[in-house]
C-alpha cells in the first residue's frame, strides 16, 4: 500500500514538473506568437491620454522667444512664458 | 496646464511662448537677455512666468502644492495676474500644431517622429496624466523597422519580392534603445533613462502576413534600465523594465511604412526613498503616414 502511494506521489510530482515545463514553454511561445493588430490598437486606444489631458496642445505656442517678445509688444499683451527642461512641447 | 479654463485664458489674453530652459538661459542676444532678466525677478527652476511686453514680472509659478489642486492653483494665479487683461477683447490667433510631424508623416530628410505616451496603470486602467513624448528616427533608423533595406534606386522599380511570411530579423540595439522614453511614466525628463543606461535590450521583427501589397510586420522585445538621477552626484537610481509587442504595415509596392503601433507593459521603481514600491506602467508608440487615416487593421491575418 505504501509502495503504491509512493508511486502515485512520484507520478503526480512528475506530471506537475512536466506541466510546469510545458506551461513555461507555451508561455514563451505565446510571447513570440502572432501579434493581433486589432488588440494592439484597442489597447493603445484604451490607454492613450484623452484630449482633456493634453489640452495644452490647443495653445498656439510660439517656440522662439524673440518672436514672442515682438508679438507681445505689437499686441500690447503680456507674455506667458512656459519653461521646461526639454525642447518645447516634447516630454510633458 | 491642461485645464480648459487655464488654456482659454492663456490663448485669449496672453502671447504664449514655450522654451527649453537649458537653451534659453545660455542663449545670446535679445531672447536670452530677456529671459535672464525675467529669471532675476523670480528665481525658479521650471514653470511659468507671466511678464509685461517690457519684461516686468507680473506673476510666476515654479512649484505646485499637489497634482490635484495644480489646475486651480494655476487658474488662481492667471485670474489674479490678468484681471485687467481679461476685461479687454480677446486676441485673435491662428492655431497650428507646434510639431506637425508628431506621430505622423515623413519629413523631407526621410526621418519620422513617432509619438510616445506612458501611463501609470492601476487595476488595469491608466491613471494620471502620465508622459507625452516622441522619438525622432532618422531615415536610416526608420529603415531598420523593415527586414530589408533596398537601395533607393531599386525602391522605385516596384514591389520587393524578397519579403516572405515568417521572415525574421533583429533590430539593432541602438535603435531599440531609442525607445527608452517608454520606460518612465513620469513627465519630468529627470526620470527618463538615457539610451546608454539600458541594461537589457531586445527587439525582433517578423513578417507576419502579406495581403496584396501590404505586409504586416510584427515586433516583440524588451527593455530594462537603471537610471541615475542627473542632478544627484551620489548614486540614486530608478529602475524600469517593459516587454513590448506591436506591428507595422508596409506597402511592398512603394516600400513605404504606413503605420507603426507598439504596446509596452512594464514596471517602474522611482528614485529612493520611494524605490520599494513597484508601479505597473503602459506605454504606446504610434505613427501613421497620413495624419487623418489609421490603416485598417481588419485585413490583417
User: How many angstroms away from the CA of A19 is the closest CA of chain B?
Assistant: 25
Which residues pair with residue B250 across a beta bridge?
B215, B257
Long-range pairs, B27-35, Cβ under 8 A, ≥24: B27/A65, B29/A66, B30/A66, B30/A69, B31/A64, B31/A65, B31/A66, B31/A69, B34/A65, B34/A69, B35/A65, B35/A81, B35/A83
Residues 56-115 of B with CB under 8 A from A: 58, 81-82, 85, 91, 93-99
For chain A, say whether B53 makes contact (Cβ under 8 Å): yes
- For residue B48, give the nearest of A40, A52, A83 by CB distance: A83
A-proximal residues of B, 161-220, CB under 8 Å: 181, 187-190, 192, 204, 208, 216, 218-220
From the list A38, A63, A78, the residue facing B82 with the nearest CB is A78
Residue B228's nearest CA partner among B200, B201, B196 is B196
Q: What is the dihedral of CA B53, B59, B61, B62, to 10 degrees?
A: 70
Q: List the pLDDT tens digit at each of the 92 positions of chain A.
A: 556 665 655 555 555 544 544 444 444 444 467 999 999 999 999 999 887 667 777 889 999 999 999 999 999 999 999 998 776 666 76
Kindly list the residues from chain B whose CB atom is less than 8 angstroms away from the CB atom of residue A76: 53
**Tens-place pLDDT, residues B223-276:** 999 999 988 888 999 999 999 999 999 998 888 999 999 999 999 999 999 899
Neighbour-count burial for B201-211, b at 16+ CB within 10 Å, e otherwise: bebbbbbbbbe
Residue A26, H or E segment: helix A2-31
Size of interface A-B (CB pairs under 8 A): 224
Q: Do A53 and B53 touch (CB under 8 A)?
A: no
Q: With contacts defined as CB-CB under 8 Å, which chain B residues touch A88?
A: 18-20, 98
Cα nearest neighbour of A62 on chain B:
B17
* Predicted confidence band of residue B198 (pLDDT cuts 50, 70, 90): very high
* Residues B284, A92: C-beta atoms closer than 8 Å: no
Output B282 or A3, whichever has higher pLDDT. Answer: B282
Interchain contact, B19 vs A83, CB within 8 Å: yes
Interface test with B, best of A46, A56, A90 (most B CBs within 10 A): A90
Q: Does B244 touch chain A (CB under 8 A)?
A: no
B255 and B279 in contact (C-beta within 8 Å)?
no
Distance CA(B222)–CA(B237), nearest Å, equals: 20
ipTM of the complex: 0.80
Smallest CA-to-CA distance from B180 within B200, B153, B156 is with B200
Q: Is the confidence at residue B296, as pLDDT, over 50?
A: no
Contacts of B1 in chain A (CB under 8 A): 55-56, 59, 82
- Contact between chains at B11 and A59 (C-beta distance less than 8 A): yes
Mean pLDDT of chain B: 89
What pLDDT, on the 0 to 100 scale, is given for residue B83?
93
pLDDT score of B149 more than 90: no
Cβ separation B132–A83 shorter than 8 A: no
pLDDT given at position A88: 66
Write out pLDDT tens, residues B104-125: 999 999 999 999 999 999 999 9
Q: How far is A42 from chain B (nearest CA, A)?
A: 10
CA A81 to chain CA centroid, Å, is 31
The C-alpha atoms of residue B11 and residue A60 are separated, in whole angstroms, by 7
d(C-alpha B259, C-alpha B292), whole Å = 12
Nearest by CB: A73 against B3, B53, B188: B53
pTM of the predicted model as reported, rounded to 2 decimal places: 0.77
Sequence spans of domains, chain B: 4-86, 112-288
Average pLDDT value for residue range B158-185:
88
Q: How far apart are CA B2 and CA A56, in angstroms?
A: 5
Amino acid at each position: 500500500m505504501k509502495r503504491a502511494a509512493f508511486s502515485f506521489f512520484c507520478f503526480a510530482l512528475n506530471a506537475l514538473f512536466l506541466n510546469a515545463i510545458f506551461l513555461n514553454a507555451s508561455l514563451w511561445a505565446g510571447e513570440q506568437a502572432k501579434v493581433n493588430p486589432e488588440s494592439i490598437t484597442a489597447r493603445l486606444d484604451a490607454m492613450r491620454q484623452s484630449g482633456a489631458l493634453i489640452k495644452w496642445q490647443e495653445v498656439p505656442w510660439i517656440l522662439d522667444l524673440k518672436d514672442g517678445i515682438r508679438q507681445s509688444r505689437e499686441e500690447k499683451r503680456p507674455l506667458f512664458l512656459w519653461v521646461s527642461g526639454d525642447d518645447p512641447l516634447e516630454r510633458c | 496646464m491642461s485645464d480648459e479654463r487655464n488654456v482659454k485664458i492663456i490663448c485669449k489674453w496672453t502671447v504664449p511662448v514655450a522654451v527649453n530652459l537649458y537653451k534659453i538661459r545660455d542663449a545670446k542676444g535679445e531672447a536670452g537677455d530677456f529671459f535672464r532678466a525675467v529669471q532675476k525677478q523670480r528665481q525658479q527652476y521650471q514653470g511659468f512666468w507671466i511678464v509685461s511686453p517690457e519684461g516686468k514680472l507680473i506673476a510666476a509659478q515654479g512649484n505646485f502644492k499637489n497634482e490635484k489642486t495644480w489646475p486651480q492653483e494655476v487658474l488662481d494665479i492667471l485670474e489674479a495676474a490678468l484681471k485687467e487683461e481679461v476685461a479687454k477683447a480677446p486676441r485673435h490667433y491662428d492655431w497650428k500644431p507646434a510639431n506637425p510631424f508628431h506621430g505622423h508623416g515623413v519629413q523631407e530628410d526621410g526621418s519620422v517622429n513617432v509619438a510616445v505616451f506612458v501611463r501609470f496603470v492601476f487595476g488595469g486602467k491608466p491613471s494620471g496624466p502620465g508622459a507625452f513624448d516622441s522619438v525622432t528616427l532618422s531615415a536610416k533608423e526608420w529603415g531598420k523597422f523593415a527586414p530589408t533595406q533596398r537601395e533607393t534606386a531599386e525602391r522605385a522599380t516596384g514591389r520587393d519580392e524578397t519579403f516572405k511570411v515568417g521572415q525574421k530579423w533583429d533590430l539593432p540595439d541602438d535603435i531599440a534603445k531609442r525607445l527608452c522614453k517608454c520606460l518612465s511614466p513620469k513627465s519630468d525628463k529627470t526620470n527618463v533613462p538615457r539610451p546608454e543606461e539600458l541594461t537589457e535590450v531586445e527587439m525582433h521583427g517578423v513578417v507576419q502576413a502579406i495581403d496584396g501589397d501590404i505586409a504586416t510586420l510584427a515586433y516583440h522585445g524588451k527593455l530594462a534600465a537603471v537610471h541615475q538621477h542627473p542632478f544627484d552626484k551620489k548614486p540614486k537610481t530608478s529602475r524600469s523594465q517593459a516587454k513590448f509587442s506591436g506591428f507595422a504595415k508596409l506597402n511592398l509596392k512603394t516600400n513605404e511604412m504606413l503605420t507603426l503601433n507598439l504596446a509596452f507593459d512594464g514596471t517602474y521603481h522611482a528614485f529612493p526613498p520611494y524605490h520599494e514600491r513597484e508601479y505597473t506602467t503602459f506605454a504606446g508608440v504610434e505613427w501613421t503616414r497620413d495624419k487623418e487615416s489609421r490603416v485598417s487593421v481588419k485585413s490583417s491575418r
